[in-house]
Amino acid sequence: MKIIVVGAGVLGVSVARQLAVAGQDVLLLDQRGAGTGTTATTFAWTNSSRKPDPNYHRLNLAGMEEHARLAEQLRGAPSYFPSGALQWADAANEQRLADNVERLRTLGYPAHWVTSDEAARTAGGLRVPATVKSIAHFPSEGYVLPDRFVNNLLADAEQHGATLAIGEVVAIKDGPERVSVTLAGGEECTGDRVVLAAGRWTQRLAARAGIDVPMVTDVGRGAQTVGLLGYARSPQLDLRCVIHGPGLNLRPEADGHTVLQALDLNAHVDPADPPSEDGDIASTLARRFCALLPAPGRAPEIDLRIGLRSLPADGHTVAGYASAQSRVYCLVSHSGITLAPILGRLVAAEITTDQEQDLLGAFRPTRFTGVRRSDIEVDQHVTSLGEQ
């Protein structure tokens, strides 16, 4: 079977790899290169911490478990780290954290309270602020180094015969016998199936094939899609797990670097006018980071990046054929890093065997058929402790 995967972000590469491993003829297309879209600007925390929908919670749990299995199969430098995560709350966030810990415990999700001293030992290289009132530890969570992860997946996919090509897809034709994609230069590629895994570009490309995948598309100042990350090159830390605090989230990056995220600052970020390295937003991020360092020192060196999230309108993953007759399989999710391994395996299984996978049953694009967008759209601004 010839399968064209449109989009070489973490989801597209994961599916391409699984299809190639299964012996399919796979062409992976991307307009810029593997992992250069949303995947390149993600906090990359693996979790199912605040997923109240039961089906979505189960899918994310399966994603976390699949990461561990996949890590044993992939070659290359380690890219998945089951480090655990800490969430620490001040007075304003204490009840919110307590309620979520209790909810997760009833679901059997590992969560327990720790002291400041225990948290400091778990985190490594950080000072717990005196304003922190309570701290929860989530030992099953972790993080991914996205560039390494995509490179490892792609290398394995290519080793199994998949081909990556650079080209901007401008049209998809869903026919009864074959499906084709047209590139910006006029070239047409045909196959038996197309997997549309184009991230935040999914709605536009799907519409050109007559498929409705409602997504949040606003990319203006403070939009739901906008997320700012800081990449701290110095000081180098021995940070050992993911941290969520009232004013700053942190995760380890390669070579002792640290990824920083301050959710409340997203409201002030305009992708058309990015914040400067010496402006107010950068200064606020640096000040909050310094407040967590164990000793004063030189001002940190922080590079700013703006990410644009891939947000289906109802907040949940989309995975499935556009209709019973369609040859176009739609795949998009906000939880791409957590879900990539499990979606790769399940989607490949559905395509190659025509057998529906139970975990994906609630996430079909057909759920949008005949439904008004206003009835399904949810606010996906992230501003509170433990959100992403």
Closest to 9 (Cα-Cα) out of 147, 145, 143: 147
In the predicted structure, residue 70 carries a pLDDT above the cut 80: yes
Q: Look up tokens 């409705």; give the residue.
A: 212
Quick one: tokens of 92?
Answer: 């304003």
- d(CA 167, CA 29) in angstroms, rounded, equals 6
Across the chain, mean pLDDT equals 96
Per-residue model confidence as pLDDT tens digits over 229-265: 999 999 999 999 999 999 999 999 999 999 999 999 9
Q: What is the pLDDT of residue 294?
A: 87
Average pLDDT over residues 309-321: 97
Region 313-328 average pLDDT: 96
| Rounded Cα–Cα distance for residues 39 and 337 (Å) | 8
Q: Are 5 and 30 in contact (CB under 8 A)?
A: no
Find, among 37, 64, 36, the residue nearest to 49 by Cα. Answer: 64
Rounded to 5 degrees, what are φ and ψ at 180? Answer: -135, 155
Inter-residue contact 44 to 258 (CB < 8 Å): no
pLDDT at 296 over 80: no
